[in-house]
Structure 1
Amino acid sequence: MAASHPWRALWKEHCARSMPVYRVLVPDSVPHSVRAAWSARGYSTGASRQTGPMRLLRNPGETRNLIRSNLVFKGLTGAGAAGTGIAGLSTLGVSLAADAVATGGLVTTGVFAVLTGVTGGVTGTTYLRDPKRLSKKDRQKAQEARWITPATLGYVPGGRSAQDTDEQRLFHLAVTLAARIAATRSWTHPVLSDHVARVDLDSIIGTLGVRLAELCEVRIQLEEMRDSAEAGRVAAYLRRLAGAFASVADRVVSMHEYLEHLRSLDAQLIALDHSERTREMGERVLDVVARTAGDDVVGTHFRDLNLEAESHAESIQQLLGELDETADEFDDLDSRIAQAAKGLPER
C-alpha cells in the first residue's frame, strides 16, 4: 500500500477531519422486497443516502412490523371480534335463562360479525399492500442483512487505544464521494436521467466495501504470521494484497474524477438554466411590450373620443346660447302682450 498513492491526499482533503460514521448495506445480502420496505420507511441503507451521524448511529429497527396499517388492522379487527364475542355470549346467556332462542341477540351478533368481517377485509387489504410492511419471511431475511461499518474494516474508536486501517479510510472516502455525487445538481437533473439509471452507485460502493472487508481480514491474519517460518511466503501474499488494494483505490480515485466532471457539468447546467430563464424573461418582455403597444392603440382611440367629446361640447354650448336668446325674446313678448292688454278699452 504505497504511501504516495493519490487516494491518501484525497482522504486527507475530504475525510481526515471527520469521524468515520457510516452504515452501508450490502445490496445482495437481502432481497429486493426488504430493501423496498426500508426505502419506504426512509432508512439510510445506501452509500448515497448517508446523511448524518445522528441518523446513522440510532437503531433503525429494520425488522419491526408495528406500522400504522398493522395497528389499525389488528386494533379494529380485535375490537370487532371482542364485540361479536360479547354479543354472542349475552345471547347465549339470555337463551339459556329463558329456555328459548333470543332472536334479537342473534341479529345483533350477526351484525357485529358482518361489520367485523368487512372491517377486517378493508384494513387487512390495506395492511397487506402497505409498502412499509415486512412479511414474516422478509423479517427473517432482514436479520441476515450484511452491513459495512467502520468496525467491519478494523476501526476502533477511542483515545490512545484508537486504531484505524487503510481499508477503512479508503471506504470512508468512497462513501463520502458517493454522497457528494448523489448531491450534485447533475445527478438529479432530467438531462442525465438515463445516465443515472445505468449507474447503481449504492451497489458499486457495497461491492467495494465487501472487497475491502475481505482484504482487511486476510491482511490482519497474514500480519499475525509475519514471524512464522513462512515469513517469505507471507510477505509475498501481503504484496499481492497490496496490489489488490491499489486496484480498489484506483476505482475510488476514478470516483473522485467522476465527481469533478459532474461538478463541471453542474456549472454548465446552471448556465443553461440561466440562459433558459433569460430566454423566458425575453419572451415575457416581448409580451409586455406587445400589450403596451396595444395600450397605445387604446390611448389613440381615447384621444379620438376626447376630440369628438370636445366637438359635441362646443355644439351643445352653442345650442344652449341659442336657447338663452330665444328665452329672452319670449320674455320680451310677454311684456309687450301685457302692455297691449292694458291699452285695450274695457267692455
Structure 2
Amino acid sequence: MATISWKSLWERSCAGTLPTYRILVPDSVSENVRNVWRARSYRVDATEPGTQLVTAGMSRNLIRSRVKFAAATTAGAIATGIAALPTVLISVFDSVPEGGVITTGIIGTISAAGAGYTGWKYRKDPRRLDRKAKESASAAEWITPERLGWVPGLTKGQDTDEQRLFHLTVVTAQKIARTRAWTHPIMQDHVSRVDLDHAVASIGRRLVELVEIRAELEQMRQTNINAGGGTPADPSTDKQIVAYLRQLTRAFSSMVDRVLALNAYYERLRKLDQQLLMLDQTERSREIGSRVLDVISRTADDENADWRLQELNIEAEAHAESINELLRELTVTAEGFDDLDELDSKIARAQKQVDEQLGLNRAGEQLGQNREQRHLS
C-alpha cells in the first residue's frame, strides 16, 4: 500500500519532468566552502528552486578581486620596467642619471602599493578558497540521477525506484521551502530545529548505497548463474543473495515511509498556511474594528459595536489555538523523516553481510583452484 501511495505521489508531482537535480551532501565539504559558494551565488541548498550546476570554477578562484590583483601586479611590473629601461641603457655608456632612478623608484613604489592593496582585497575576499578549502571543494559529493541508476534515452533509457523516490523527495522539500508558513515569523524556532537540507541529502545518500549494494548482489547472482550454465552453481549462495535482496527491499520501504512522512509534513504546512492567512485577515479585521469602534464612540452610541469586536477577538484566539496545535503536530511529524539512525544500522549490517559473503566466495574459488592444481599434478 505504501509503494502505491508514493508512486501515485511521484506520478502527480514528477512524472512530467526530467530529473535534473544536483544535491550536495552537506557533510562532504566544510562549512567554510559552503559559505564561499553562497558568496559566489552558487546553489548549495537542496530546498532552493532550480537546478544546481556543478562547474570546474567551484574549486578555483575565478573571482574579480583575483583578476584585479593579477592586473595590478602585471601593470605595475611593466610600468616599472619601462621607466627603468632608459636608466639602464644610459648607465651602460655613462653614469647613472639621478632623475631616472628617482622616477623609477616612484613608479615602483606606486606599483607596489597598488599590488599590495589589491592583494589584500583578494585575500580578504569572502569568495576566495584557500588551499584547504580547495581540497575540500574538489572532494564534494553530489547526488545525481545517474548515481541512482537513471539513464536518459528514448529507446534504451532506464529508471529506478530509488531515483524516482529521491526525485519526489527533492520536489517535496522545495515545495516545503516555498510555503508561506515556512518563512513566517511564527515558525522561526521550529524551522531552526528541522534541517531540510540534511534530511534530503541523508535520504539521497542512503538510496545511493541501496543502489550500489543491489548492483553488487545482482552481479554476484549473475556470476553464480553463469558458472552453473543457466542454473545457480551454488544454491546456498543464491539463497543468501535472495535473502540480502529481501533485506534491502525492507530498507527501501523504510525510506518510503520517511518520504511519505516528509509529504505529510508538507500537507500540514499547507493547512498552517490557511490558518495563518485567516489569522492575518482576522487581525486586520480586528484592527479595522477598533478604528470603527473608536469612530462610533466619538459620533454615536452603538451597543452592538463592542460585541462585534469581542467576536473578532474570540475568532482570533481560535485561529491562534489551531496554529499552536498544528505546530505541535509538525514537531511530531518531523521526527518521522529527520532520524535515519535505524536505517543506517540496517544498511551497515547488509553491507557487512555482503562483504563477508564475497570473502567466502573468493575463499571457495581459491580452494577449488588449489584442489584442481593438486589433482592435475
Find the counterpart in structure 1 of residue 162 from structure 2: 167
- Flag the structure with larger Rg: 1
Query: Would you say 1:192 and 2:187 are equivalent positions?
Result: yes
Is the CA contact 1:154–1:216 (under 8 Å) kept in the aligned structure 2? yes
Query: Would you say 1:25 and 2:24 are equivalent positions?
Result: yes
Deviations 1:163-219 (A, max 9, x none): 111111111011111111111111112221222122221111111111100101111
Counterpart code for 1:77: T
Please give the secondary structure, in 2, of the residue aligned with 1:260: helix
Deviates more, 1:243-252 or 1:184-193: 184-193
Root-mean-square deviation (Å): 2.5
Q: Return the alpha-carbon distance in structure 1 between the equivalents of residues 98 and 2 of structure 2.
A: 90
Q: Return the alpha-carbon distance in structure 2 between the equivalents of residues 83 and 173 of structure 1.
A: 60
Deviations 1:200-240 (A, max 9, x none): 21111111111100101111222333444222111110111
Counterpart code for 2:74: G
Q: CA deviation at 1:80?
A: 1.3
Please give the secondary structure, in 2, of the residue aligned with 1:224: helix
Please give the secondary structure, in 1, of the residue aligned with 2:252: helix
Find the counterpart in structure 2 of residue 246 from structure 1: 253
Selected match of 1:272 from 273, 279, 284: 279
Find the counterpart in structure 2 of residue 65 from structure 1: 61
Deviates more, 1:125-134 or 1:271-280: 271-280
Distance of aligned partners of 1:283 and 1:108 in 2 relative to their CA distance in 1, 3 Å threshold: farther
Deviates more, 1:182-191 or 1:3-12: 3-12
Query: Would you say 1:108 and 2:106 are equivalent positions?
Result: no
Q: Return the alpha-carbon distance in structure 1 between the equivalents of residues 40 and 135 of structure 2.
A: 18
Q: Return the alpha-carbon distance in structure 2 between the equivalents of residues 16 and 34 of structure 1.
A: 34
Q: Return the alpha-carbon distance in structure 2 between the equivalents of residues 47 and 261 of structure 1.
A: 20
Q: Return the alpha-carbon distance in structure 2 between the equivalents of residues 162 and 40 of structure 1.
A: 38
Find the counterpart in structure 1 of residue 346 from structure 2: none
Counterpart code for 1:246: S
Find the counterpart in structure 1 of residue 220 from structure 2: 225
Please give the secondary structure, in 2, of the residue aligned with 1:16: coil
Please give the secondary structure, in 1, of the residue aligned with 2:117: helix
Q: Return the alpha-carbon distance in structure 1 between the equivalents of residues 31 and 189 of structure 2.
A: 22
Find the counterpart in structure 2 of residue 45 from structure 1: 44
Structure 2: gaps spanning 5 or more residues: 226-231, 300-377
Counterpart code for 1:68: R
Is the CA contact 1:155–1:165 (under 8 Å) kept in the aligned structure 2? yes
Is the CA contact 2:72–2:115 (under 8 Å) kept in the aligned structure 1? yes
Residues 115-134 of structure 1 aligned to structure 2 (within 5 Å): 115-134=110-129
Find the counterpart in structure 2 of residue 140 from structure 1: 135
Selected match of 2:206 from 201, 204, 211: 211
Q: CA deviation at 1:76?
A: 1.4
Distance of aligned partners of 1:94 and 1:279 in 2 relative to their CA distance in 1, 3 Å threshold: farther
Distance of aligned partners of 1:171 and 1:4 in 2 relative to their CA distance in 1, 3 Å threshold: closer
Q: Return the alpha-carbon distance in structure 1 between the equivalents of residues 135 and 293 of structure 2.
A: 65
Q: Return the alpha-carbon distance in structure 1 between the equivalents of residues 274 and 146 of structure 2.
A: 38
Find the counterpart in structure 1 of residue 151 from structure 2: 156
> TM-score w.r.t. structure 1 length?
0.75
Q: CA deviation at 1:131?
A: 1.7
Structure 1: gaps spanning 5 or more residues: 294-347
Deviations 1:236-258 (A, max 9, x none): 10111111111111111110011
Is the CA contact 1:43–1:60 (under 8 Å) kept in the aligned structure 2? no
Distance of aligned partners of 1:3 and 1:273 in 2 relative to their CA distance in 1, 3 Å threshold: closer
Find the counterpart in structure 2 of residue 88 from structure 1: 84
Deviations 1:253-307 (A, max 9, x none): 11001111111111122223333444555677789x69x99xxxxxxxxxxxxxx
Is the CA contact 2:46–2:174 (under 8 Å) kept in the aligned structure 1? yes
Q: How many residues align?
A: 286
Structure 1 runs of 4+ aligned residues shifted over 2 Å read 2-6, 55-61, 88-98, 135-141, 223-229, 271-287
> TM-score w.r.t. structure 2 length?
0.70
Counterpart code for 1:209: G
Query: Would you say 1:262 and 2:269 are equivalent positions?
Result: yes
Q: Return the alpha-carbon distance in structure 2 between the equivalents of residues 75 and 216 of structure 1.
A: 49
Identity %: 49
Deviates more, 1:250-259 or 1:227-236: 227-236
